[in-house]
Each structure stands twice: as C-alpha cells, then as structure tokens.
Amino acid sequence: MNPTGSLEFEMDTSKLENIRNTLRLLEALYPGVLAVTLLIGAALCCLTVLRSSKEAAIMRVLGTPKRKTRSILILERMLLNIAGLAVGTLALFIYNGRELAEISSPLYLFAGMYIIAVLAAATVCAALATHRSALEMLQAKE
C-alpha cells in the first residue's frame, strides 16, 4: 500500500515487449519467406520437367508434335502440384480444422500464387526441354 491507502501494482512488461518484437519480425520476414518458398517450388518443378526431357524426346520420336509434348509435360506437373496442395490442405484440416478456417484467406492466396509460379516454371522449362530436335535430345547425356 502507498501512503494514500490505494494499492499500486507494478507490471513487468518486458515479456509482452518481447512478444511484440517477435511479431514485428515475423511480419517483416513474411514476404521474403513467401518469395523464397515460391522460388523453391518453381525451381523444383523446373528441375523435374528438365529431368523428363528424355521422355519428351521419345514422345517426339514417336511423332508427337512439340506443342502437345510441352502440354503433356506442363499438365503432368500441374496435376502433381495441385494434388500435393490438396493433400496438404486435407492433412491440415484433419490436424486442426478450426485453425484452417482462421487462415483460409492467406492459405488460398498462397496456393494461388504457388500454382501461378509452378505454371510459369513448367511452361518455361517445358519449352527448354523440347526446343531441340528429338534426336539431339535422345543423344544428350544426363
């Protein structure tokens, strides 16, 4: 009690300030982490498309036009990525459905950006994988 008879409490706000600083740091790092994640996803998609250039060469030798070969490569990667996003979302829903409802807007935004990044990477890499003649592609060393 102080001399006036009222109670005074001193609060230690250092832990609260640490939490605020951590939240500010997370908000500052979020765009960078998002960009790096999208780049890694696009790079992995590109790598898998380039690794399948031998299959693209075989399709070309069998008479498949370049455009159809590219479309097959792109469609295959897109279906795999969409299936992966669906399985991940389902696993998150099973783990904690309430949390999924709270973060659904940013989650769908990220999923859309991820699909766009993967589509762009698959398109560019499919063009790179099929730009040469079929025989040159078959003779290339892995």
The whole-number pLDDT of residue 129 equals 85
The whole-number pLDDT of residue 124 equals 94
Residue 21 placed within a domain? no
Contact 114, 85 (CB under 8 A): yes
- In the chain, % helix, strand, coil (3-state, to 5) comes to 80, 0, 20
Residue 47 placed within a domain? yes
The whole-number pLDDT of residue 43 equals 94
H, E, C per residue of 79-125: HHHHHHHHHHHHHHHHHCHHHHHHCHHHHHHHHHHHHHHHHHHHHHH
Residue 2 placed within a domain? no
> pLDDT in tens for each of the 142 residues of the chain?
556 655 666 667 788 888 899 989 988 998 899 999 999 999 999 999 988 888 888 888 888 898 999 999 999 999 999 999 999 888 888 888 787 778 888 888 999 999 999 999 999 999 988 887 767 766 765 5
Residue 5 placed within a domain? no
Residue 17 placed within a domain? no
The whole-number pLDDT of residue 141 equals 59
Residue 7 placed within a domain? no
Domain that holds residue 125: 42-139
Number of independent structural domains in the chain:
1
The whole-number pLDDT of residue 64 equals 87
Residue 9 placed within a domain? no
Q: Record the tokens describing residue 82, joined without a space.
A: 């969409």
Q: How far apart are CA 19 and CA 114, in angstroms?
A: 30
Residue 23 placed within a domain? no
The whole-number pLDDT of residue 9 equals 63
Q: Record the tokens describing residue 74, joined without a space.
A: 């792109």
The whole-number pLDDT of residue 121 equals 94
